[in-house]
Chain A
Amino acid sequence: MTDQTPLPEDLEGLAGEYVLGTLDPNERAEAERLLAAHPGFAEAVRRWEDRLSPLSDTTAPEVPPDLVWRNLEASLDREASAPAEGATGAEVIDLTRRLAFWRGTAVAAGALAAGLAGFVLFSGLAERVFNPTAGQRYVAVVNRGGELPALIVSVDPADGVVKVRSLAAEQPQGKSLEVWYVADGAEAPVSLGLVDAKASTTSLHPTRRADYARKGSAIAISVEPEGGSPTGLPTGPVVYSGKLVKAE
């Protein structure tokens, strides 16, 4: 593979300048296109990187701030919770992709529930956490893939107040976690509000659009731009979800 015919000089120059970083945006885009499509060009780029690499060594190393690694770890955690395209993580769904679904006319009932298959077995944890008083209450233990609960959401149907207790939820930097009520069926999710990043418990205002007693309803948490979804519907990946169950 190494003894191929030489590239025309203009391509060789383009490859070299790509490595130098001096191409204008159009040329740079062209170089990136060639890089993907033209093995000879990609090889030329690689050789330029190699030729010039001793110059990189003229730059003194500098220890980066700790924050970089911490942010990286947080990104990887998020990535692990939001599988790449095509993967069908049971606990994690991309609500954005599902929006087209809801807007459609004939959505099979239960399709969403299937998407939110992360059925959380109610283990009694919520009682211990909330120590509920008399009266019915609905609780969702919100997590992702078999991990420990990230949030516990409890609803008191009497006043409609939703309490979100943050256990291990990661608040991505510069983003908000938005809480959604998702009915089992064809309706779009209803925003309940944002998780307060600084408090361990957030109380959300009641909404009459959510019927927590409805069978198969669930709570989902999506990552949204700071301040919440600009559209009123989830725009980012759902990082946590859990079904609402009755807590006696």
Chain B
Amino acid sequence: MQQSDAKADLEHLLSRISKGDRAAFQALYSATSAKLFGIVLRILKERDSASEVLQETYLKIWRNADRYEAASGRPVTWMAAIARNTAIDALRQRRERTLDASEDGDDPLERIADERYARVDPVHRETLRGCLGELEEALRGCVVQAYCDGYSCEELARAYDMPQATIKTWLRRGLMRLKECMDRE
């Protein structure tokens, strides 16, 4: 209930932003910047570059607000995708980066279940959690670290001490099994 309200609010803001409404933009920024900053900071690990990427992300949101289609999902997902893509592009340009395989020791599967972070439909969250749980640990690890921490195939290959081609196969297999599992549920 609350979720659909939030979705409607953000959609309303986006539609005003698409008409150049700066006040709506500021409201959208206030409502969502901490979430998006968390996402880009986790990928970039460094506040300065994360701040730059966040800025670029919101400029893209400002310019492309008219391209958000209400029918095609949640506004937060749309904005988070822009943030992740911008962060990943910045990261790949920067290239070298130190990598510690076990991020913060926290199990992402646990956190998916953690209500504190909940913004998504709980059923959806449980579905992803269940389906990720069905994957072998390495496959799951690769998918989660790529998504949350922005690891490239190359970095994953180093972390798991495997050839890149193997990682690629794992990722594809992991994704296909996730899709199959989630579409079934």
Q: How far is the CB of A130 from chain B (nearest CB, A)?
A: 34
What per-residue 1/0 map shows which CB atoms of A47-81 lie under 8 Å from chain B?
A: 01111111111111111110111011001100000
Select one of A46, A65, A76 contacting B51, CB under 8 A. A65
* B176 in contact with A13 (CB, 8 Å): yes
In the assembled complex, B19 has its CB within 8 A of some CB on chain A: no
Q: A22-B146, A50-B77, A54-B112 are in contact. Are A72 and B55 (CB under 8 A)?
A: yes
Residues of A within 8 Å of B1, CB to CB, are none
* Chain B interface residue number, banded: 35 or more
Which A residues are CB-close (under 8 A) to B39? Answer: 56, 59
**Interface pair A62/B108, CB less than 8 Å apart:** no
Instruction: Check if B171 sits within 8 Å of A20, measured CB to CB.
Output: yes
Is B47 among interface residues, defined by CB-CB distance under 8 A? yes
- On whether the beta carbons of B73 and A20 are closer than 8 Å, the reply is no
Most buried by A among B41, B55, B168: B55
Given A56-B39, A64-B54, decide whether A50 and B108 contact each other with a Cβ distance below 8 A: no
Contact with B along A227-240 (1 / 0, CB 8 A): 00000000000000
Q: Is A19 touching B148 in the complex (CB atoms < 8 A)?
A: no
A44 to B143 CA separation, bound complex (whole angstroms):
17
Contact A61 B34 (CB under 8 A): yes
For A60, what are the chain B residues with a Cβ–Cβ distance below 8 Å?
Answer: 38, 116-117
What 3 A-B pairs have minimum CB-CB distances, sorted nearest first? A16-B175, A61-B34, A58-B111
Q: Which residues of B contact A (CB under 8 A)?
A: 22, 25-26, 29, 33-35, 37-39, 41-42, 47, 50-51, 54-55, 58-59, 62, 72-74, 76-78, 80-81, 84-85, 88, 92, 108, 111-112, 114, 116-120, 124-125, 128-129, 143-144, 146-148, 150-153, 156, 168, 171-172, 175-176, 178-179, 182
